[in-house]
A = this chain, B = another copy of it.
Amino acid sequence: MMDSQETTRTQALMNAVRAKIANRALGPGDRLPSVRGFARTMGVSPSTVVEAYDRLAAEGVIRARRGSGFYVTGADLPPMALAGMGPPRDRAVDPFWVSRQSLDADPTVLKPGCGWLPAGWMPNAALRKGLRALARAEDALLSDYGSTRGAPALRRLLLGRFADEGIAATMDQVMLTGSGTQAIDLICRLLLRPEDTVLVDDPCYFNFQALLRAHQVRVMGIPFTPTGPDIAAFERALAQENPRLYITNSALHNPTGASLSPQTAHRVLSAAAAHGLTIVEDDIFADFEPALSPRLAILDGLNRVIRIGSFSKTLSASLRCGYIAARPDWIEGLADLQVATSFGGPSPVAAEVIAGVLAGGSYRKHMDELRQRLTRARKEAEDRLRPLGLLPWIMPRGGFYLWCRLPEGRDSTAIARRCLEENVVLAPGNVFSVSQSASAFLRFNVAQLGDARIFPVLQGAMEKA
């Protein structure tokens, strides 16, 4: 027998689930929160949650599936318009952690740890104009497969940009991909074999690690400095470890915001040439720079350096389009691989919209405004974070990241877990660190710090952690 207080609690839980279904936060087929997780969220014991779920199952509102939890039944309910519950929160803080928490978060979650700009900061008017133009395009563009290397119009625009930077590339040196990540994935498929050694920066973009894990290669981190990789460590790794590939951001490095110095660039390339190393330079933040900083792909002329990039950060992540610029023989192999594994590259429709926006005059103006807005946001973020004891490692010359050191003795993973419980997604340092040596850091996205509710949550979590 339950006492009356427990009965009340059970009823409250049942009502909470019914409310989620009624307001379509949960739809038919959606999985309910785990017993343990829901108990924690609601401040009750797991047995109370079990009781509530069992009663709802008896009512036919939900049903249990052996070994995999409870699900909303209600096939008769009208289809939902809104997204479901979002990601489970109890998973490991690993290289997937930030992507999971931020990609699947419901719209009420605040995301100062995520890797993109708020939707309102993107060139939406130009995108709408592009979509309206597309609605008048010829049938073949709307419904045919594209060519294996992607839309020539967009590839030509890229060649024009490369030419402005001093790279004389040709059409057979550029191909489009489904995303910047997919660009690197294809390169890994072409050049790597299991057990190869791959160098990354430490810290580096967390998804490089997730991707390389999928390729079953050995990942080695090179300590990163405000002017690029620690060149002595880099040269030592080349001499001793025979790495096949080095993946890096030269400009506005993720997560630190640092950019490569000319001297480090030259030494990295010289060491690579001496040891037959191939370099993937991820140039995804290029358009955020106030002026062009040193690039390995430019110094090298697309010989042993492969440039990749995408349009997700400045134009639209929803259109899903990246690119690879490399030697023609590699592009040929990569295009075959993309046919084999995706039967082509990005949506031709998406490439058309992107080419339209890039070719129009409004993109340049959009980027000018965006850079100014981010300069202000960086300053404001610094002013808000510094009083909490969060100090930028460097002040980046562009982009939207601030890599901040915590006060002595604080652990960013613990802080991120606490903030997540209060609907704030952070990016704790160790998800970026192969050596797990960045627990004293958090990466902030200054464009996602506009909501004042973030700071008391952050402060509270720091005091407890």
Contacts and interface: CB of A to CB of B under 8 A. Distances in A.
A144 interface: yes
A343 B207 contact: yes
A39 interface: no
A103 B333 contact: no
A276 B28 CA distance: 12
A407 interface: no
B181 A80 contact: no
A42 interface: no
Interface string A76-92: 11111111110100000
A79 B211 contact: no
A71 interface: yes
A75 B278 CA distance: 7
A71 B170 contact: yes
A85 B24 contact: no
Interface string A436-464: 00000000000000000000000000000
Contact of A156 (B79, B87, B181, B319): B79
Nearest to A78: B329
Interface stretch (A44-52, A115-123, A288-296): A115-123
A125 B341 CA distance: 30
Contacts of A82: 152, 170, 172, 328
Q: How large is the interface on A (under 10, 10 to 19, 20 to 34, 35 or more residues)?
A: 35 or more
Contacts of A75: 163, 244, 276-278, 304
Interface stretch (A3-11, A185-193, A379-387): A185-193
A260 B443 CA distance: 54
A30 B171 contact: yes
A27 B179 contact: no
A335 B120 CA distance: 27
A185 B342 contact: yes
A1 interface: no
A14 interface: no
A78 B329 CA distance: 8
Contact of A333 (B24, B100, B138, B304): B24
B84 A171 contact: yes
Interface string A103-123: 110010000000010011011
A332 B146 contact: no
Interface stretch (A229-237, A344-352, A419-427): A344-352
Nearest to A317: B145
Nearest to A355: B79
Most buried by B among A23, A73, A344: A344
Contact of A344 (B103, B213, B343): B103
Interface string A124-147: 100111011011101111111111
Most buried by B among A29, A84, A152, A156: A29
A276 B350 CA distance: 41
A149 B320 CA distance: 15
B170 A336 contact: no
A96 interface: yes
A159 interface: yes
Nearest to A194: B194
A313 to B, nearest CB: 10
A68 interface: yes
Contacts of A339: 96, 99-100, 103, 207, 210
A148 B29 contact: no
Contacts of A129: 135
A315 to B, nearest CB: 8
Interface string A234-267: 0000000000100000000000000000000000
Interface in A353-380: none
A83 B81 CA distance: 49
18 contacts: A27-B190, A28-B156, A28-B159, A28-B171, A29-B170, A31-B170, A65-B170, A75-B278, A78-B329, A79-B153, A79-B329, A83-B332, A116-B144, A120-B139, A128-B135, A141-B318, A179-B342, A316-B349
7 closest residue pairs by CB, A with B: A122-B143, A29-B170, A210-B340, A119-B139, A131-B135, A181-B343, A29-B171
